[in-house]
């Protein structure tokens, strides 16, 4: 396994002003679909590395939180408070 793939896939938990979030990096090679970034409303095109985030402390349970995950540009997520 290449180091790039190993690092790109490391999930982590981040604390933001609205709670705890699971954050999973998606490498460019794994980005196969288009998404709309909730931070800027812009498109995340196939082949663009980005992040997937979902609540780590939601009240509806893990399955609901995972189903409600969103794809973010790395910069948009980093400037989110």
Q: Which domain holds residue 67?
A: 3-79
Tell the residue number behind the tokens 């609901």, with chain if given: 64
Q: What is the pLDDT of residues 18-72, one digit of tens each?
A: 999 999 999 999 999 999 999 999 999 999 999 999 999 988 888 898 899 999 9
**Which pTM was predicted?**
0.83
Q: How many domains does the chain have?
A: 1
Return the structure tokens found at 44: 């995340």
Cα(16)–Cα(4) distance, rounded to whole angstroms? Answer: 26
Q: How would you write the chain as a 3-class SS string?
A: CCHHHHHHCCCEEEEECCEEEEEEEECHHHCCCCEECCCCCCEECCCCCEEEEEECCCCCCHHHHHHCCEEECHHHHHHCC
């Amino acid at each position: 396994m290449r180091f790039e793939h190993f690092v790109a896939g490391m999930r982590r938990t981040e604390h933001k002003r609205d709670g705890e979030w699971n954050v999973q990096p998606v490498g460019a090679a794994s980005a196969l679909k288009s998404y709309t970034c909730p931070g800027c409303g812009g498109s995340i095109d196939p082949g663009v590395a980005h992040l997937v985030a979902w609540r780590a402390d939601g009240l509806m349970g893990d399955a609901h939180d995972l189903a409600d995950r969103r794809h973010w540009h790395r910069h948009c997520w980093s400037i989110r408070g």
